[in-house]
């Protein structure tokens, strides 16, 4: 009887130890198994957010039509030309920089006056995108040069420099994920240096002022679902 009691006591002690150790081992095993699964789940969940916020790049070119008001550019008519730019965007905001050039007729002269220069253009996608259309608002700041015609009346005039500051709105029409038709309308305030051939009233400031409306249409390549 004493042997049976001692054996029972030993078994009870071992059983009590097992009751303490086995649950701990079970918790440890469950942690080791579920941790990689949880990490994988978190990576899978956060991946779309990472894709949406990464910087996106785009290049574009467009035809440009400008309708002038005022005397900032002298006695010249409306013009047509082009612009080209490169942009970087993230989320609903983008910032681009490029070059624009337009050709303007001048009375009694077969040669054109050329207005050209660089610009920067921030854009903000509007929260009303639908289907294949993404509308946006834009600002444009340009540093431009007015170059006289190469021959004939006015060719002796100096080149003058000025600024164009304005705003506008546009829309992207998505052809594929990374190719869009880009159209926009802009208004800009013009301020150019006063020079021979740019008529301003006597006694006014040394800057000639005016404005222009611009229409542009072109193709944009890049911007993987920018603003959508």
Q: What is the pLDDT of residues 205-223, one digit of tens each?
A: 568 999 999 999 999 999 8
Residue 88 has a pLDDT of: 96
Residue 190 has a pLDDT of: 96
- Which of the residue ranges 18-22, 106-110, 160-164, 190-194 would you say has the lowest mean pLDDT? 18-22
Residue 164 has a pLDDT of: 97
Q: What is the pLDDT of residues 129-144, one digit of tens each?
A: 888 899 999 999 999 9
Q: If you average pLDDT over residues 176-183, what whole number do you get?
A: 93
HSE-CB at 221 with a 13 A cutoff on CA atoms is 4
Q: What is the pLDDT of residues 22-51, one digit of tens each?
A: 455 454 444 444 444 444 444 443 334 434
HSE-CB at 198 with a 13 A cutoff on CA atoms is 27
Question: Is 7 a residue whose pLDDT tops 50?
Answer: no
Question: Is 12 a residue whose pLDDT tops 70?
Answer: no
Fold topology of 55-222: Porin (2.40.160)
Domain regions of the chain by residue span: 1-53, 55-222
pTM above 0.85, yes or no: no
The band of 116, judged by pLDDT with boundaries at 50, 70 and 90, is very high
Residue 157 has a pLDDT of: 84
Residue 137 has a pLDDT of: 98
């Amino acid at each position: 009887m004493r042997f049976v009691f001692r054996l029972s006591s030993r078994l009870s002690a071992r059983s009590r130890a097992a009751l303490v150790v086995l649950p701990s081992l079970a918790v440890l095993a469950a942690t080791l198994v579920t941790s990689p699964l949880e990490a994988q789940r978190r990576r899978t969940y956060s991946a779309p957010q990472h894709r949406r916020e990464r910087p996106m790049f785009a290049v574009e070119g467009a035809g440009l039509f400008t309708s002038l008001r005022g005397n900032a550019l002298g006695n010249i008519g409306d013009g047509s030309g082009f612009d080209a730019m490169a942009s970087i965007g993230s989320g609903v905001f983008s910032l681009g920089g490029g070059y624009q050039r337009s050709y303007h007729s001048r009375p009694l002269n077969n040669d054109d006056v050329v207005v050209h220069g660089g610009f920067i253009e921030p854009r903000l996608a509007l929260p009303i995108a639908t289907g294949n259309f993404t509308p946006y608002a834009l600002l444009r700041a340009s540093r431009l040069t007015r170059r006289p015609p190469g021959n004939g009346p006015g060719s002796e005039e100096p080149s003058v420099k000025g600024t164009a500051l304005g705003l506008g709105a546009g829309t992207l029409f998505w052809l594929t994920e990374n190719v869009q038709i880009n159209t926009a309308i802009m208004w800009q305030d013009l301020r150019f240096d006063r020079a021979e051939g740019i008529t301003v009233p006597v006694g006014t400031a040394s800057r000639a002022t005016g404005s222009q409306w611009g229409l542009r249409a072109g193709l944009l390549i890049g911007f993987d679902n920018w603003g959508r």
